Structure 1
């Protein structure tokens, strides 16, 4: 990733800016050893369909896999800002929220499960999505509580999925386990999440 060249550029650019920010007139190509301007197609002078062409840069989460390229992250992005005529690092878009599945979370990762008079049923599921699917198939279900009942349910490692007709908050998650099991162990609750239907 041309660390030595980048360090040299950083040192020169920072000292030049510190000395006189208005008189910075550096040649990025001679400093980096690569031309990242539009006149050189930003480091990739030959189009991808030209035999022997090579990419001019890399932008992504694995720069360690592309050491031969100018990787657009970290210090290089700060250096490139000093050269507005050169290739610039993209600003990642803000993360998009996942599409709604018809539920909103009312609590997460508690050590207590919901217990309330509007209880409908419960079972074991592999995923939270499976628990929500169960609620969708039970008439009157509006709330799911998924959790791990450690040492309970015959030692199952699956999620316990409890269904209720009304929505609940963390204040109703007061079932902390504590029941003695047939083998003498005591159960306890982990990873308790609550989800209420949107409608």
Structure 2
């Protein structure tokens, strides 16, 4: 209870009225776990079994089961607790400081320079997330079609090294809970001209 009071007090100092700061224990726990040490909520990369996205960044409701959602309360918690600055609200357009290194592949990149992955609405949103993660140099956005109903969301993987099509060897093929086999389409890679500081 005392910790919640301290967070509410810090929110007021930050200019957010206490009544507008209904941070739950789960949101606080998620915010404290949103660090580079646990790959920003996605410690298992998307090419490994049992992977789960660590976050959703977009304008729609969060997908079921995601513990980290970049909403206003969560972003304020990140700012207050960890000094992490969330990107500006979406939607974003692809940014000119990124150079496309591959386009429309049916496989996604996998590399030891992996930082995190989550779900986004647009390529621009993926680039905005890269702009907020220290050391991020490369984004790989793609549709990981898993499940019979599919999803309009893009998977957004972030890396510290610039990658090329030669690293795109994660082609799906994993059996899903509903018995379908996932596959990857529209895999695009973008290298940032200057890594995020």
What TM-score do the two structures reach when normalised by structure 1? 0.48
State the structure with more CA Rg: 1
